[in-house]
Amino acid sequence: MTMKCAAGIETRIVDESSINLDPIQAAGRLTPEAMKAVIAWGDGYSVCDHCHKPFRLDYVTNPPIADFHSDLSKWLGMDQSQVVPGARRAFQEVTGALVSKGEPVMMTGMGHYTAYLSVEVVNGVVREIPPTPDHHITADTAAERIEAVIREFGYAPKLLFIDAVDFMYGNFHDVKGVAKVAHQYDIPVLYNGVYTVGVLPVNGKDLGADFVVGSGHKSMAAPAPSGVLATTDEYADVVLRTTKISGDVTGRKFGIKQVGILGCSLMGAPIVGLIASFPAVKERVKHWDEEVANHRIVTDALLSIEGTKIASEFPRRHTLTRMDTSASFDVVARTHKKRGFFLSSALAKRGITGIMPGVTKQWKFNTYGLSREQVEYLAGAFVDIAEENGLRIA
């Protein structure tokens, strides 16, 4: 019988029972510190126990939310920061402050859908920077597209989104080059670091970013929804502005609540989890090279299977990779009684999960946070499955 947390809710044991390769889950797994903090602080408004004047989340000192904000800004090489319920809310906060109806925003053609929606919600217009045939965003293409937007609208885009590492291929993009071009047109740059902030070192100002966005639940070992937005003093006045509204009858005013995120943004489990994991997160970014080395053990094993290719840039620089097994595992799937489900099924038998069931042509996986023993086991499992199904190993 499956253990249950509550009526109709199974106890989730994915990461206790298996090696989990889900590309979006790997770096969001909680640290033990976050798990403990969530146990103690999971109640709804728990972090408001010690909320005193001026009654704003980032002024709370117990738990140390105020210190977290200042540490976070320094750590990201920016001036000011804010916690948000997910990176998407940071996108929305920035577009809400900088983009008006009908105004253009530059987006990379490999951006997350929520970035597009953050433009749509303010009735802005998206104009894309197309990726190169090898799936990269370059400064040259960005410059061409900015010029095209100026010809079309008569003025420069109001904002430019650039993904440090995209979710489709796990490729690195020329953030510095694109930001340099954007700044030549006075376009503010939003660095989307959902696959970098929390796993590798990021310094926003060095990169030329006006905004750095990170995801707590994707890459900072925090519960969902959580994320961070960091910016410069120049843009903080606009994007992190405080309320000035008052009721026309009652005259009510709302202190120094921040408008763009509708006041206090992140409470309970997400914020304490984010803070509790932060020391471990700051430490782990220093070991990114070890994570990539572990990842390469798995990609090397996969590449040893005849017909297997890597669809992402190569050599790999990130732990999220898109594989192309259309000439190996997909060939097996054509005649296997389980069809395309043979691969996920064979992996499950070996205690491995997280790859989309039924997919054998192109699929993504992420090894972030796995131990050396686990990646060696994983590498062996892929080779074993290939051999079991008659594929040749180099």
Partner 1 sequence: MRITKCRIYNDDIMSQKAIDAVFAGLFYLTDIRTILRRTAPLHQLKDEEKATARKTIDAVRKQLTVLEEELL
Interaction of residue 377 with partner 1, rule CB under 8 A = yes
Which of 390, 392, 345, 350 minimizes the C-alpha distance to 374? 350
Find the binder of partner 1 among 23, 26, 28, 29 (CB under 8 A). Answer: 29
At 189, which helix (H) or strand (E)?
strand 189-192
**Rounded Cα–Cα distance for residues 120 and 145 (Å):** 20
Residue whose token pair is 């009510």: 252
Angle CA 357–2–27, to nearest 5: 50
Which segment (80-88, 154-162, 356-364, 368-376) binds partner 1 by CB under 8 A? 368-376
Find the binder of partner 1 among 77, 201, 351, 380 (CB under 8 A). Answer: 351
Cβ closest to partner 1, residue 40 vs residue 393:
40
Query: What is the longest distance spanned by two Cα atoms in the chain?
Result: 78
- The answer to whether the CB of 325 falls within 8 A of the CB of 363 is yes
Cβ closest to partner 1, residue 162 vs residue 370:
370
Residue 66 — left, alpha, or beta (φ > 0 → left; ψ -120 to 50 → alpha)? alpha
Interaction of residue 36 with partner 1, rule CB under 8 A = yes
Residue whose token pair is 């180099």: 394
At 150, which helix (H) or strand (E)?
helix 139-153
Find the binder of partner 1 among 18, 243, 304, 362 (CB under 8 A). Answer: 18
Cβ closest to partner 1, residue 33 vs residue 313:
33
How big is the site for partner 1, counted in residues (CB under 8 A)? 18
Minimum CB distance to partner 1, residue 353 (Å): 9
- How many beta carbons lie within 10 A of that of residue 237, not counting itself? 13
**Rounded Cα–Cα distance for residues 164 and 211 (Å):** 12
Find the binder of partner 1 among 4, 10, 32, 70 (CB under 8 A). Answer: 32
Cβ closest to partner 1, residue 23 vs residue 85:
23
Which of 287, 281, 304, 275 minimizes the C-alpha distance to 380? 304
Cβ closest to partner 1, residue 32 vs residue 130:
32
Strands 309-310 and 320-324: antiparallel
> Which tokens hold the place of 364?
């993504």
**Rounded Cα–Cα distance for residues 120 and 102 (Å):** 10
Cβ closest to partner 1, residue 59 vs residue 377:
377
Cβ closest to partner 1, residue 205 vs residue 350:
350
Interaction of residue 39 with partner 1, rule CB under 8 A = yes
Burial class (CB in 10 A: 0-12, 13-18, 19+), 195: buried
Which segment (16-24, 108-116, 198-206, 302-310) binds partner 1 by CB under 8 A? 16-24
Which segment (203-211, 227-235, 276-284, 371-379) binds partner 1 by CB under 8 A? 371-379
Find the binder of partner 1 among 46, 345, 362, 374 (CB under 8 A). Answer: 374
**Rounded Cα–Cα distance for residues 21 and 375 (Å):** 10
Minimum CB distance to partner 1, residue 39 (Å): 5
Which segment (50-58, 144-152, 210-218, 344-352) binds partner 1 by CB under 8 A? 344-352
Find the binder of partner 1 among 122, 181, 333, 352 (CB under 8 A). Answer: 352
Find the binder of partner 1 among 4, 10, 11, 17 (CB under 8 A). Answer: 17
**Rounded Cα–Cα distance for residues 309 and 230 (Å):** 38
Find the binder of partner 1 among 2, 44, 373, 390 (CB under 8 A). Answer: 373
Which segment (32-40, 131-139, 232-240, 280-288) binds partner 1 by CB under 8 A? 32-40
Find the binder of partner 1 among 45, 246, 371, 392 (CB under 8 A). Answer: 371
**Rounded Cα–Cα distance for residues 378 and 392 (Å):** 18
- How many beta carbons lie within 10 A of that of residue 313, not counting itself? 18
Interaction of residue 16 with partner 1, rule CB under 8 A = yes
Site residues for partner 1, window 125-164 (CB under 8 A)?
none
Which chain residues interact with partner 1 by CB under 8 A? 15-19, 29, 32, 35-36, 39-40, 350-352, 371, 373-374, 377
